[in-house]
Homo-oligomer: A and B are copies of this chain.
Amino acid sequence: MNASAAISELVIANRIIAHLRLVDSFGHVTVRNPENPARFFMSRARAPGLVTKEDILEFNLDSTPIDLRGLRPYSERFIHGCLYKSRPDVMAICHNHAHELLPLAVTKTVMRPALHSAAVIGHEVPVWDIRDRFGDTNMLVTTNEMGDSLASTVGKGKAALMRGHGSVIVGKTVQDAVFTTFYLRLNAEVLIKAKSMGETITYLSPGEIDRSGELHTQPDAQGRAWEDWCSQAGVAKPSRK
């Protein structure tokens, strides 16, 4: 995949995450430049549902823009730059405030997968609390120091909840990042309802997480969802591989 194809897929991903309500007017998805791993693509500051090719900007891994073309960047681009820097295996990232997962993001409870399709979130999703290290802030990740702290909480994992704010998810591809975001939210919804009943929850075992997680990161599984979401969101499906 070249840079141009990556940008096209990024635009589609923006439409999909808006259509699936994984984001509201805020949140963002990015992709590493496949032609230059020291850079990544991200829309200008705009609601994801409205993003077009003309909105895409390029950034260095310290989140400085290559050429703003007079547009305004997202102030939280540091989330992305710092994660691309710390995780060479990561090719795409989604930051969101999906409404249904927020009830878990206002607690300090580590999330674990209880659904086979949610095995893609990994063994544990930690909660990053910006206040722990940075005290009272406006809650946004607006410096490399903050981004590095968040990246350190994500560690080698797939995601982190951000206390009082939302979540961040990393992926091997744009499709992987969106897929993981979708099933992270579903896992949250299911846990919230199950906990409300007060019944004992059976989580996936470590072995199940590994095996089901591997299965659900295959292009076969993720491509099936992607084709469906492209159709639902009314966007053309890019030819895969």
A interface residues with partner B (beta carbon < 8 Å) = 24-26, 45-47, 49-50, 72, 97, 99, 102-104, 106-109, 114-117, 119, 129, 131, 135-140, 163-165, 186, 189-208, 210-212, 214-215, 220-221, 224-225, 227-229, 231-232
Contact = CB atoms under 8 A, between A and B. Distances in A.
Contact of A193 (B50, B103, B129): B103
A119 B137 CA distance: 12
Contacts of A210: 136
Contacts of A106: 114-115, 190-191, 194, 201-203
15 contacts: A25-B225, A102-B115, A103-B197, A106-B114, A106-B115, A106-B190, A115-B164, A115-B165, A129-B202, A136-B207, A138-B208, A138-B215, A139-B212, A140-B215, A195-B196
Given A194-B106, A202-B108, A202-B164, A116 B129 contact: no
B26 A139 contact: no
B137 A26 contact: no
Question: Which of A72, A197, A207, A214 neighbours the largest number of chain B CB atoms within 10 Å of its CB?
Answer: A197
A79 to B, nearest CB: 14
Number of copies: 4
B228 A50 contact: yes
A193 B211 CA distance: 31
Nearest to A207: B136
Contacts of A206: 136
Question: Which of A45, A103, A195, A221 neighbours the largest number of chain B CB atoms within 10 Å of its CB?
Answer: A103
In order of increasing CB-CB distance, the 10 nearest A-B pairs are: A136-B207, A47-B228, A116-B139, A103-B193, A25-B225, A138-B211, A25-B228, A196-B196, A195-B197, A106-B114
Contacts of A108: 200, 202
A211 B202 CA distance: 34
Contacts of A205: 131, 136
B46 A227 contact: yes
A121 B45 CA distance: 23
A110 B62 CA distance: 42
Contacts of A190: 99, 102-103, 106
A49 B228 contact: yes
A199 B195 contact: yes
A193 B105 CA distance: 11
